[in-house]
A and B are shown apart, each in its own frame.
Chain A
C-alpha cells in the first residue's frame, strides 16, 4: 500500500491511571472508624431527629450539622430493589444479582447494597434482611466489610413504617 492509500488513524487507546488518596472528612471518618469494628454508626439531626447512614456530617433536609452518634442494628428493611442482569466489564459480581435500597433499624435513610442467599424473584419491598459480614480479620475502613444482606425470617414491614423502625426493630 502506498502512503496515500493508508487509512487515517483516528483513534488510539491510551489509558491513563490516577490513584487517589481519599481524605474522609470528620463525619465519614467516624462512620469508617466504627465500621472497621463491625458497627454501623449513624448520626442524628438535632432539628428533625432523622438518623443518617452513611453520614456526611449534615442533614440534607434541615441544613444543620449532625453530631450525635447513634449505633444502628445490622438488621434492615428493603425499601426498593432491582435485579441487575446487565453484564458490565470488570464487574466481580456475576449477574443476575440484586441491588437493594436497605434501611437499617434505627435509621431513616436507605443505602444501596447487595442482596444474596435469596431467590431473586421472591425479593420484595418491605422484606426483612440482615447484614452478612466478612470475617473479622478482613475488616477495613469500608462498607465492603458487609458482603451482602440476606433475607430474615421475620414478617414484612408495612409500607408506611419502612424507614421508621427503632434500633430494636419496633415502630418508631
Chain B
C-alpha cells in the first residue's frame, strides 16, 4: 500500500515562442524557484530531483540532466531523468510521486521543460529509417489520418474540432501564463485558417513554445505543515502499447482505456463526468478532445463530440465538466513540460489557486498526458481531501 503524498508547491514559467533571455538552465531554474517559493521551501529542503523532457534530439543537447544538476540544486543529491516522448511531463510527475509514496524520499522536486526555439522538433521527429519512406510531414502527418478515421466512425460534425480550438483559446485568455492570448477568437477565424494537414487547420494545432514547469511533492507529514493547501495525490497510473500491431485501435487506444480504469479505481471514480470537477487532458490537435472524452469514459464511444458541441467542456458556457481551463496544449506547448503542466494545473484547481480559470469549488480532478504514436499514457487524480 502506497503512502500518501501531495503537491505542496507549483512553479511555472510563462510560455512563449522564444525565451531569448534565459538558457535551458535558466529556464528550468525559474520554474523550480517558483515552485520552491510557492511551497515556502529552499533548496536544502529537497531530497531528490526528477527531471523530464522530450527526446534529446530536439535541442541536440544529449543527457541535459547532467548539465542541469547545478541549476536544479542537486549536486550530490539523487537525480533521475525520465523519457516517454510527449507524455514525459506526466510520467515524470508520476515517477516523482512514486518516490514519495514508496517512502524512499520525504520531499522531491520534479521539473520538465522544452526550449522549442533552440530545437527543430519537426526535424527531430522525422529522421529517415530505411524500412519506411521518408515523408518529413511532422506530427500532424501521423495524427491527421487517425483523426479522419475518428470522423468516419463517429459521424461528428466537421466543426467540432473548430469549437475545441475556440474554447481552449478562450480558456487560455484567462491564464496569463498561456502562450497564445486570443480573447477575441471566433469559429470563423479558425475555419478560415490555413488547412495544414486535412482535416486539421492551422488554428486547430498547438503552438511551439518555450517553457518549464515544476512541482514539489511531499509525504503526508510534511504536506500537513505546508503553508498552502496540499493537492492530495489520489491515484497514479501509466500504460503503454506498441505503435503498430494488427487490429490496434489507434482512434481509441487500449492503453489509454486501461490507464483510465486503473487510476479511476484507485481514486474511487465510477462516473468520470460526474465525479470530477474538471480535467486537464493532453489535446495538441483539436479533435483529440472528443477522442479522449471517449477514451477516458466521459462519453460513450462515438459521442465525445456531443459534449464538446453542447459546451459541457467549456468554462465560458458553464459546462458541467470543464476541460483544459488553463488553455491546454492548444494554448501552450513546451513539449516536454506539456504533460506536467496538465498535472500541475489540476493540482492548482483542487488547491483553489487557479486564478481567473478556477473552477468554483473544484475538489477532484484528472490530469492526463499522452505521447509517441498515442501509445504512452500517464494520468493522475488529485483531490482537495485525502480520501
Shortest A139–chain B CB gap in Å is: 12
Shortest A95–chain B CB gap in Å is: 9
A82 touches B21 (CB 8 A): no
Q: Does A119 contact B (CB under 8 A)?
A: no
Nearest opposing residue in chain A for B18, CB measure: A11
Shortest A136–chain B CB gap in Å is: 18
Q: Mark A35-67, 1 if CB is under 8 A from B, else 0.
A: 000000000010010111010100111000000
Q: Does B247 contact A (CB under 8 A)?
A: yes
Tally of chain A residues near chain B (CB < 8 A): 47
Q: Does B145 contact A (CB under 8 A)?
A: yes
**Which residues of chain A come closer than 8 Å to B122, judged between CB atoms?**
88
Other A-B contacts than A60-B243, A60-B245, 6 sampled, CB-CB below 8 A, are A10-B20, A32-B131, A50-B247, A54-B132, A60-B248, A86-B197
CB-CB under 8 A for A22 and B145, given A10-B20, A88-B122: no
Tally of contacts, chain A with chain B, CB under 8 A = 122
Cβ contact of A86, chosen from B138, B146, B247, cutoff 8 A: B138
Q: Which residues of B contact A (CB under 8 A)?
A: 20-21, 60, 118, 122, 129-138, 140-142, 144-146, 148-149, 152, 194-200, 241-248
B197 touches A82 (CB 8 A): yes
Contact sample, A vs B, 24 pairs, CB 8 Å cutoff? A11-B20, A22-B129, A24-B131, A32-B131, A50-B247, A59-B245, A60-B243, A60-B244, A60-B245, A61-B246, A61-B247, A79-B149, A80-B148, A82-B137, A84-B140, A88-B136, A99-B141, A99-B145, A100-B145, A109-B248, A112-B135, A143-B132, A144-B133, A146-B133
CA distance A85 to B133 in the complex (A): 18
CB-CB under 8 A for A52 and B138, given A11-B20, A32-B130, A113-B133: no
**Which residues of chain B come closer than 8 Å to A11, judged between CB atoms?**
20, 118
B131 touches A143 (CB 8 A): yes
B130 touches A85 (CB 8 A): no
Q: Does A142 contact B (CB under 8 A)?
A: yes
**Which residues of chain B come closer than 8 Å to A108, judged between CB atoms?**
246-247
Shortest B257–chain A CB gap in Å is: 16
**Which residues of chain B come closer than 8 Å to A111, judged between CB atoms?**
132
